[in-house]
Amino acid sequence: MIKFEHLPNLRSQLVIGLLLAGLLIVFVILGSLYLPVGVDWHLTFRPAALATLHGQSLYKASPLAPYAGAPWGVWMVVPLSLLPENIGRAILFLVSMAGFAFAAQRLGAKPLTLLAFLLSPPVIHCLLNANQDWMPLVGFVLPPQLGLFFILVKPQMGSVVALYWLIEAWRNNGWKEVLRVFSPVSLALGLSFLLYGLWPLNAMQIFQDSRTWNASLWPASIPVGLGLLWASLRKREIRYAMAASPCLSPYVLFHSWAGALVTLVTLPGEMLAAVVGLWILVIIQALALFG
């Protein structure tokens, strides 16, 4: 039973909720009108989601820009594909921004470093392209048995984190903990192979087709990645594993480096230096391209 003394508080919460809902609606309307077309939403994720609705393979929905991650990365955006493309894109922008902010805050970001991270070139690049790099970041801050599902959407951002969780599980309680943490995602992977075949092999073709946009530093980054991997295991610190993953991947798009950048959110000076440096790099490349 609601007590009368609680009514003012309930009214204020209701007003705040309505204001937030109103702001979200305004953002979606403005976003649907003025945001540029999200090329990855348009070419890859929306066609794959619509193919799923029609009982077709999501990996064959867009031959020009095929999807290559875990299938649940598409399943999670199926509701947005039912909306007009520009509205779904605007909502995805908002969800992506919230995902980046959630992960950064869970990792200890303060207002300054959170703002710097959200305004960094990798995050902006992801938001403008309407890609899914926020999903692995969310996975990093979830319990491992749930986070593994998210990082498999973008393995190049989380492969070393999966290895870190495997070794940590073994350290904590041997094979029993490994089974508890990894059996859900292992079962899901097995079922996905039955549905779609060995879909991870699709990544080889995408690697060949996307060499122009590949921002990986591999193989030069392998020693750095191995050093970060060893530091993560020795210090039992996941942030080093997060930074190591793109260093050990031969295929990393520019926006996927957000997974390494987010590890600096507790270090204001280092975060600002990295973001400013990245913007200088972007400006230099833009001048070289259009100058």
- pLDDT at residue 2 in the model: 44
pLDDT of 102: 96
> Cβ(184)–Cβ(145) under 8 Å?
yes
Cβ atoms of residues 116 and 98 within 8 Å: no
Q: Which residues, including other chains, have CB under 8 Å from residue 97's CB and lie 6 or more apart?
A: 118, 127, 134
Structure confidence by residue, pLDDT tens digits, 19-44: 777 788 888 888 878 899 989 999 99
Query: With DSSP H G I counted as helix, E B as strand and the rest as coil, what are the percentages for the chain, rounded to 5?
Result: 75, 0, 25
pLDDT band at 209 (very low <50, low <70, confident <90, very high): low
Q: Of 125, 185, 156, whose CA–CA distance to 248 is shortest?
A: 156
Nearest to 203 by CA among 255, 142, 152, 277: 152
Compute the average pLDDT of residues 163-169.
Answer: 96
Q: Which amino acid is at 46?
A: R
Which of the two residues, 239 and 289, has the higher pLDDT score?
A: 239
**What is the C-alpha separation between 278 and 209, in angstroms, rounded?**
25
| pTM summary value | 0.90
Confidence of residue 13 (pLDDT cuts 50, 70, 90): confident
Closest CA to 76 of 123, 24, 138, 162: 138
Supply the pLDDT for residue 210.
64
Distance CA 236, CA 147 (A): 17
Residue 166 DSSP SS3? helix
> Quick check: 7 pLDDT over 60?
no
Cα 180 to its chain centre, rounded Å, is: 24
- Distance between CA atoms of residues 227 and 32, nearest Å: 44
How is residue 197 written in tokens? 């075949």
How would residue 218 be classed by pLDDT, with cut points 50, 70 and 90? confident
Residue type at position 270: E
What confidence score (pLDDT) does residue 18 get? 74
Whole-number pLDDT of residue 216:
87
Angle between helices 222-235 and 155-196 in degrees, nearest 10: 90
Given a cut of 70, whether residue 205 has pLDDT beyond it is no
Which residue, among 136, 84, 108, has the nearest Cα to 258 in the 3D structure?
Answer: 136
- pLDDT, tens digit, 9 for 90 and up, residues 89-141: 999 999 999 999 999 999 999 999 999 999 999 999 999 999 999 999 999 99
Contact (Cβ atoms closer than 8 angstroms) between residue 258 and residue 120: yes
Q: What is the pLDDT of residue 207?
A: 64
Percent of the chain with pLDDT over 70: 93
